[in-house]
């Protein structure tokens, strides 16, 4: 499905998929089994989720707004005005 939408693998990390479009106006996505993480303009994310739902059973999660936090694949994410603050859980950072 990602090829059908024009995504390509990132050069530094092949697990990061980059959507077509000009820099700053395209989606970036990571998929771990059935857990996608997508960043980009909100309208593009909503469009991409709707497209996925037209192809497969998919229930999208919440699109984060500045200040929102969530846990995803053993990491915590907080949306900031400039991007995301990502942290590992404390159990992975024991002395």
pTM for this model (two decimals)? 0.70
d(CA 44, CA 27): 7
Indicate if the alpha-carbon torsion angle 15, 41, 37, 75 is positive or negative. positive
Q: Where are the alpha helices (DSSP H) in 4-78?
A: 42-55
For 35-91, how does the pLDDT look when each residue is reduced to its tens digit (9 = 90+)? 778 888 888 988 888 888 888 887 777 888 898 888 877 778 888 888 878 777 666
Confidence of residue 94 (pLDDT cuts 50, 70, 90): low
């Amino acid at each position: 499905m990602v090829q059908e939408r024009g995504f390509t693998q990132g050069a530094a990390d092949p697990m990061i998929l980059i959507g077509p479009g000009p820099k700053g106006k395209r989606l970036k996505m990571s998929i771990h089994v059935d857990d996608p993480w997508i960043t980009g303009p909100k309208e593009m994310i909503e469009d991409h989720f709707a497209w996925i739902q037209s192809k497969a059973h998919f229930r999208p999660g919440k699109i984060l707004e500045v200040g929102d936090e969530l846990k995803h694949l053993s990491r915590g994410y907080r949306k900031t005005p400039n991007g995301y603050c990502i942290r590992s859980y404390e159990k992975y950072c024991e002395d």
